[in-house]
Structure 1
Amino acid sequence: MNLFLYVMFAVNLIIPFSVFNNFAKKRRLFTDRYGATITSASAYVFSLSTGTLLFFVFSPSLVNGILLSTAVGVFLGVSYGLLIKFHSLLLGVFYGMLGAWMGTMLAAVIADPALCGLPSSFTSMLLMNKIIITGFLSAISVLTALLLRFSFRV
């Protein structure tokens, strides 16, 4: 289980950086509106998946998990936002924080269903739920990366 989480965490770190490298090479071709769209989509989706996996892999306390994933989400948003202009930077920071917070809360609810008042019978499916959510978020990250790369070609 831990090996699966570490591999998915590594995959979800490689995907944003490969898209970032592709985006950085072609950044002179983009308008401000297109850059803002790319920044918001990539910062939100990649920080959502990274924030969830950070909480699963390192399993810190809730406050430390929020702070760690927020820092990673802001870093992702700032790195994408700095490629275009200042308003893209603001969008990147906002969507990076939002995605990281949502990812951390999603992981916290999956790890402890009692946070939402769910019965304790869901605790028996904890391992399966972690695998399903991790796979789903990784698939969303791959799909987003493919759509972003396709939009570079159009």
Structure 2
Amino acid sequence: MPDAALRSLKVAGPAVARLFRARLCLCAVQVLMLTSWGLLLPLLLVLPFGGMLPPSAGDAVVYLMAGCLLGGFLLCIPEAYFRRRRESAQQDAFGDVQSALGRLRAGWNLEWESPYAGAGPERLISFGSWNDRFEWRVSYRRGALLLTEIPAGEHEVDEE
């Protein structure tokens, strides 16, 4: 018997749009944090040659280093806020996603696996009867959620 066709569905609604916006804000703040800390490396490389620079340029390098270091840490506050906001929006969108998967008869007992810092792909896991397990790739497209079924051979095995 050939493999069943992989399914895909699009979930849209106000809760999903809110999740999309919250995820976008979190990504923007994380990029600013990484940029702020990323500027420290070139400034650290200039620091040993501070004696060859004019005094005002040496002072500017030190002030820029302090600003980048403090800026990265100060951006932790909005990052934590946007992370909580994204988690709240994810809980609000959970019902829409669960009902959409229910219409496909793709199981219940939904788990939303998302990496902590957005360093990997998000996925959904739903369980059906007779030990059926469905995994879905989550991608965001213009304020909507696109769920694509992952083939059984590519499922991630949890160690727990």
TM-score range, shorter chain: 0.3 to 0.5
Larger Rg: 2
The structure richer in strand per residue is 2
TM-score, length basis structure 2: 0.32
The structure richer in helix per residue is 1
